[in-house]
Amino acid sequence: MQTALFIIFGLLAVLGALNLLFQRHPINSALSLIVVMMSLAVLYWSLGAEFLAAAQVIVYSGAIMVLFVFVIMLLNAGEEERTHGSQIAYIAGIPGAAAIFCLLTFVFLSEKKQLGTTQLGGYLTSAVSNITEISHTLFTSLLLPFEVTSILILVAILGAVVLARKEL
């Protein structure tokens, strides 16, 4: 099952990255990048890095992509013509999403049966200790790079606002 998840979401990440490169509209490229980030989060989760998967979804697919979309909107890249969407998305989108949903449901249900109720508690305890170690390292020895990164993101937002400012 791990191999099937890896193949499906690895291909989805590669296809999303290729779609990101070949899109003509910046908003569609940003949406393709979200597909890549979510696929990477599933790959992290399948490798047992639950904290990294959650951080991938929250930080990259959430915060950074919102920042990208705001920058794209602030720069006002021009008027977009209306399209009816990609034909590939219509043909493969709904069956692909249904197949991924069924596969993930099967994986979650089979994991629940294999772990049982007594082992599940121990599993959650080990995940909590892993998060404790990561947070301790992040906020002690890596505090300066963490804060510098947040200041760089703030400067990028301010730079985008200054560049997009219109003269009155």
pLDDT per residue as tens digits for the range 74-112: 666 556 566 666 676 677 777 877 887 887 788 777 766
| CATH, residue 79 | 1.20.120.1200
Count the neighbouring beta carbons within 10 Å of the beta carbon of residue 107: 15
Domain range for 16 is: 2-164
Count of C-beta atoms within a 10 Å radius of residue 94: 10
Tens digits of per-residue pLDDT, 36-52? 988 999 898 888 887 88
**DSSP states of 104-132:** HHHHHHHHHHHHHHHHHHHHHHHHHHHHH
Cβ-contact 26, 77 below 8 angstroms: yes
More confident residue, 93 or 147: 147
Mean per-residue pLDDT, 49-68: 79
Least confident of 19-23, 132-136, 147-151: 132-136
**pLDDT exceeds cutoff 90 at 14:** yes
- Please report the pLDDT score of residue 82 as a whole number: 65
Q: What is the pLDDT of residue 116?
A: 52
Count the domains in the chain: 1
